[in-house]
Amino acid sequence: MEKPLKVLLAGYYGFSNFGDEALLYSTRSLLSRTADGLGRELEFSLLDQSGHAGFFSIPRRSAYQAIKAIASSDLVVFGGGGIFQNQTSNRSLVYYLSILRLSRLLCRPTLLLGTGFIPVNGWFWRYATASSVKKSAVAVRDPESLTFLESRSVKAVLSADLLFNYPITVVRSPESANKPGNIYFNVRRFTDDSEERGFKELLVSLSQRGFSLTGLSLAPEDTACMRPLLKDQSLKISGFHVMDKSPHEFIPLFQPDSIFVGMRLHSLILATLFGIPFVAITKDPKISAYAAECGCVSLDLSKPEAVFGAIENVAENFRTECRNIRTVADSFTRRAIVNEEIAMQVMQGIVHL
């Protein structure tokens, strides 16, 4: 019997972030299905902050352990998300570029699935990122990332976020949906007090309009931001739920007559997956780009009345908005097949060596 192929997974895992944890299990499922098609088994290791069941965990801060794990692997996989960006700091970007370069130095094939490269700021970091990625098999989740790489002579293909590869059966908002009565909302750390005041104003306006308000936390910092909102009786928040593992957690919470208002990218991708029209609140270019690709509105909180107006517009045209977001979700699901195709190509190359 042939030995299992050893796969090392790299990503922002072990921090109780819904998006990254969902991407981890989506990546494992996709790779396992691919290996089954080739009649091979996989053995997974994980550069991890904390332990995960079903994986051999490698301490992500140990350079020695990381080098040892790369050297003993048959394939190094970066499982989606926006890990190749430096919006907040260069430290994370340096870490993942180092894993890429070490893998190349040790002659290990590297695969990037459903990855985003928005934004990479500074000419040096753009050069370093492109030169590090060049020898990898790359599937990007958005057209902007594809343009970034192709402009630097890096070969890549357009796929979709790995959440669209997640093994889940979704019952989307029905064609005959009534007027929306519920608002799902997700908040993350506010940049200043004026943003927090603006968001509270928005929630008050939505409550007065007659919407039920349901808060969703997708990371520990979201929960911290939600606490003062939950204590404010004037906001009339009817529900609050923490999601930190997978889209399955959303199934019992799903209400088809809903609009999603989100600050995190994967809150908006979750909404798309379930066919829920959304309004994005952001100053982050990757979220603005995703909203534009979906044909949805993206605004910041400098004018909460404008956000309220956008939500009102979605509510007034709810059936059309539901139909549009379902069409977008189907398009992303078809694009996500590219993640499976490129994984198959890479694994076939390893198996036939």
Q: What's the pLDDT at 95?
A: 95
pLDDT of residue 31: 97
Residue type, 3: K
Residue 62 and residue 186 in one domain: no
Same domain for 111 and 259: no
Coil, strand or helix at 69 = helix
**pLDDT tens digit string along 241-275?**
999 889 999 999 998 899 999 999 999 999 999 99
**Confidence class of residue 43 from pLDDT cuts 50, 70 and 90?**
very high
Q: Could you tell me if 224 and 276 lie in one domain?
A: yes
Q: Dump pLDDT digits (tens) for 109-144.
A: 999 999 999 999 999 999 999 999 999 999 999 999
Question: Are both 23 and 163 inside the same structural domain?
Answer: yes
Query: Is 177's pLDDT higher than 80?
Result: no
Judgement on whether residues 13 and 128 belong to the same structural domain of the protein: yes
pLDDT per residue over 271-300, tens digit each? 999 999 999 998 889 999 999 999 999 999
Q: Indicate if 140 and 214 belong to the same structural domain.
A: no
- Strand pairing partners for 43? 6
DSSP letters, 210-231, are T-EEEEEE-SHHHHHHHHHHHH
Specify if 279 maps to a domain: yes
Confidence of residue 175 (pLDDT cuts 50, 70, 90): low
| pTM of the full structure | 0.95
Here the CATH number for the domain that contains residue 308 is 3.40.50.1000
- Average pLDDT of the chain is 93
Asked whether the predicted pLDDT for residue 54 surpasses 80, the reply is no
Q: Are residues 267 and 337 both part of a single domain?
A: no
Q: What is the CATH number of the domain that holds 145?
A: 3.40.50.2300
| Claim to verify: residue 240 and residue 156 sit in the same structural domain | no
Same domain, 220 and 148: no
Beta-ladder partners of 58: 47
Q: Tell me how many domains the chain contains.
A: 2
Q: Which residue has the tokens 């036939």?
A: 352
Q: What is the pLDDT of residue 174?
A: 59
Residue 281 lies in a domain: yes
pLDDT digits (tens, 9 = 90+) for 71-110: 999 999 999 999 999 987 899 999 999 999 999 999 999 9
Q: Are residues 78 and 125 in the same domain?
A: yes
CA distance linking residue 282 with residue 291, whole number of Å: 10
Domain span at residue 217?
182-316
SS3 percent helix, strand, coil of the chain, rounded to 5, is 50, 20, 35
pLDDT in tens, 189-199: 998 999 999 99
Q: Quick check: 353 pLDDT over 70?
A: no
